[in-house]
């Protein structure tokens, strides 16, 4: 099914579907008149005598150099090829597709000056699965994501590399194999394609979508851990959270209360429990995970706006009859959003890791065996699984340091303040993978702990989660090779299998 995009009106849910599904993408036909009107204004400017940045001038520090009309196509081609300076690993296919779709959305607003043929080629490449090979390092997030977007644009010209049917090949061969032809860029088109925030925004959106899965899973793993250590649900009482008023906190407490409803384990120690309060990692989950969810919601609103924005330069203002230089390519909003997502991911992992540590410690776990093994001493159980979570938690804390505060001047000081949004967003993938594992290990430990509480049972909802987990990973009776078990549990967090069907906080 083709996903139809109306520029300026695409929501996060559509973008996530696009990213996860790999479905073909097209702009709504209603975008065409504005695109063509902007292209006509650029054509007129290219044929005129007045210097217009990026249309008949050089770029950046070379903006004062006037380019003859006969050389405008060469100017755009040279721009693309000279800016293909990316290094590092190739961007994954799903995020590459999202980046291309975001570029369609941006030029689709009718303020960039590209011709309709360029839009059609990007759409056709997405439909047929011709994806540019885009190195993921080299952008400082202003003036746009120049290097990665240049690699994308180069593929439209038949330059660089592309993947097609699972094989990387020269872009010209990939286009030909798919029955497509490269284009020749008209005035300003090269600049419109590479001047923008679509690489940073795509990576940040991918990080957001993964972070939401982790945030929602953390509500479930905490509920499991709470029953495993026979923790109290009193801190989940709605009045506590409504008195403070933060939406994320209220939502987390409400969801955790609901999925723990009916737990025999919880009911068994309402009376006569000598403990007064649980440690913060249990008691303060709504406050911590809820604050993280509020951050994700805020970042999501920023990224939804940016996904629908025009972020190249100069902008073609058709109604005013002007082509005007500005600074929409500066990815500061994206960088801030990525930094916020990183903080949220780090903190969700930090509090989850403390719950893992709680469960393996016999002095704190309320009579669970040391390291959750039935025969401690001969067996080490989850001893080193907990250490692994500590390592990943610490790594995420380091990665959560802000990137947007680290500007540096580039391009002969013409571009003297930059956002660093690209690697602010790119690190989120690594951080989310780390958090997948932390939460996966928490689920394994909590399920093991709940097993030790038999014949008492957890709630029906949580028993369903344990059953799903046990379909892939059996309980640990004696020491075995745990790396595969951890990988399976982490995958179930990442793909949402462990929380499917549960009513958990959403992105709105």
Q: What is the pLDDT of residues 92-149, one digit of tens each?
A: 999 999 999 999 999 999 999 999 999 999 999 999 999 999 999 999 999 899 999 9
The confidence band for 72, taking pLDDT boundaries of 50, 70 and 90, is: confident
Residue with structure tokens 């082509």? 323
Asked whether the CA dihedral 16, 332, 27, 121 is positive or negative, the reply is negative
- Could you give the percent of the chain with pLDDT greater than 90? 90
Closest CA to 421 of 206, 209, 199, 211: 199
Mean pLDDT of 456-482: 98
Contacts of 431 (CB under 8 A, 6+ apart): 207, 342, 345, 346, 396, 399, 400
Q: Can you tell me the distance from the alpha carbon of 234 to that of 351, in angstroms, rounded to the nearest whole number?
A: 19
Q: In terms of DSSP H, where are the helices of 274-331? A: 280-283, 285-307
Mean pLDDT of 291-313: 98
The confidence band for 453, taking pLDDT boundaries of 50, 70 and 90, is: very high
Q: At what angle do helices 483-494 and 460-470 cross, to 10 degrees?
A: 130
The confidence band for 151, taking pLDDT boundaries of 50, 70 and 90, is: very high
Confidence (pLDDT) at 64: 78
Q: Is the pLDDT of residue 68 over 90?
A: no
Confidence (pLDDT) at 425: 98
CA distances from 292 to 119, 248, 288, 467 (A): 38, 8, 6, 28
Name the residue with higher pLDDT: 339 or 507: 339
CA 384 to chain CA centroid, Å, is 29
Q: Is the pLDDT of residue 470 over 80?
A: yes
Confidence (pLDDT) at 271: 85
Alpha-carbon torsion, ordered 485, 490, 491, 495, to 10 deg: 150
Residue range 429-445, pLDDT digits in tens:
999 999 999 999 999 99
- In this structure, what token pair is assigned to residue 75? 């100017």
Residue range 8-45, pLDDT digits in tens:
999 999 999 999 999 999 999 999 999 999 999 999 99
Residue 312, H or E segment: none
Closest CA to 439 of 355, 340, 369: 355
First to last CA, the chain: 26
Contacts of 29 (CB under 8 A, 6+ apart): none
Residue range 156-189, pLDDT digits in tens:
999 999 999 999 999 999 999 999 999 999 999 9
Alpha-carbon torsion, ordered 151, 157, 163, 169, to 10 deg: -110
Name the residue with higher pLDDT: 261 or 51: 261
Asked whether the CA dihedral 410, 411, 417, 420 is positive or negative, the reply is negative
Q: Which residues are catalytic?
A: 53
Name the residue with higher pLDDT: 69 or 142: 142
pTM for the whole structure = 0.97
Asked whether the CA dihedral 91, 96, 102, 104 is positive or negative, the reply is positive
Q: Is the pLDDT of residue 62 over 80?
A: no
Q: Can you tell me the distance from the alpha carbon of 376 to that of 243, in angstroms, rounded to the nearest whole number?
A: 44
- Could you give the percent of the chain with pLDDT greater than 70? 100
């Amino acid at each position: 099914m083709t996903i139809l995009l109306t520029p300026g009106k695409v929501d996060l849910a559509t973008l996530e579907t696009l990213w996860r599904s790999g479905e073909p993408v097209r702009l709504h036909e209603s975008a065409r008149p504005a695109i063509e009107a902007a292209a006509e204004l650029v054509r007129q400017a290219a044929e005129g005598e007045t210097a217009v940045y990026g249309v008949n001038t050089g770029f950046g520090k070379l903006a004062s150099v006037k380019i003859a009309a006969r050389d405008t196509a060469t100017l755009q081609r040279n721009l693309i090829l000279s800016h293909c300076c990316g290094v590092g690993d190739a961007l994954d296919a799903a995020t590459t597709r999202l980046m291309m779709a975001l570029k369609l959305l941006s030029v689709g607003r009718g303020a960039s000056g590209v011709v309709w043929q360029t839009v059609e080629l990007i759409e056709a490449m997405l439909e047929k699965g011709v994806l540019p090979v885009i190195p993921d390092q080299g952008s400082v997030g202003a003036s746009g994501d120049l290097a990665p977007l240049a690699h994308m644009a180069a593929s439209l010209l038949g330059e660089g590399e592309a993947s097609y049917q699972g094989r990387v090949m020269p872009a010209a061969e990939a286009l030909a194999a798919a029955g497509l032809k490269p284009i020749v860029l008209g005035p300003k088109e090269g600049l419109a394609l590479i001047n923008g925030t679509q690489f940073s925004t795509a990576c940040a959106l991918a990080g957001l979508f993964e972070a939401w899965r982790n945030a929602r899973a953390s509500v479930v793993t905490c509920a499991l851990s709470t029953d495993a250590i026979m923790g109290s649900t009193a801190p989940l009482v709605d009045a506590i959270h409504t008195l403070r008023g933060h939406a994320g906190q209220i939502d987390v407490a409400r969801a955790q209360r609901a999925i723990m409803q009916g737990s025999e384990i919880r009911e068994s120690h309402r009376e006569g429990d000598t403990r007064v309060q649980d440690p913060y990692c249990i008691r303060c989950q709504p406050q911590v995970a809820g604050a993280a969810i509020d951050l994700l919601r805020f970042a999501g609103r920023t990224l939804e706006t940016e996904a629908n924005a025009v972020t190249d330069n100069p902008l073609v203002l058709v109604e005013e009859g002007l082509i005007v230089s500005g600074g929409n390519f500066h990815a500061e909003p994206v960088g801030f959003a990525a930094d916020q997502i990183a903080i949220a991911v780090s903190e969700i992992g930090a509090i989850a890791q403390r719950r893992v540590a709680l469960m393996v410690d016999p002095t704190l776990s309320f009579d669970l065996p040391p390291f959750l093994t039935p025969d401690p001493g001969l067996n080490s159980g989850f001893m080193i699984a907990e250490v692994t979570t500590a390592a990943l938690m610490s790594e995420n804390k380091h990665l959560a340091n802000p990137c947007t505060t680290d500007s540096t001047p580039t391009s002969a000081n013409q571009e003297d303040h930059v956002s660093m949004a690209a690697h602010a967003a790119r690190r989120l993938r690594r951080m989310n993978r780390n958090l997948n594992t932390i939460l996966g290990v928490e689920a394994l430990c909590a399920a093991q702990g709940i097993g030790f509480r038999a014949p008492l049972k957890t709630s029906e909802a949580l028993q369903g989660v344990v059953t799903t987990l046990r379909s892939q990973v059996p309980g640990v009776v004696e020491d075995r090779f745990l790396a595969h078990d951890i990988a399976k549990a982490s995958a179930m967090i990442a793909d949402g299998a462990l929380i499917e069907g549960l009513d958990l906080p959403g992105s709105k």
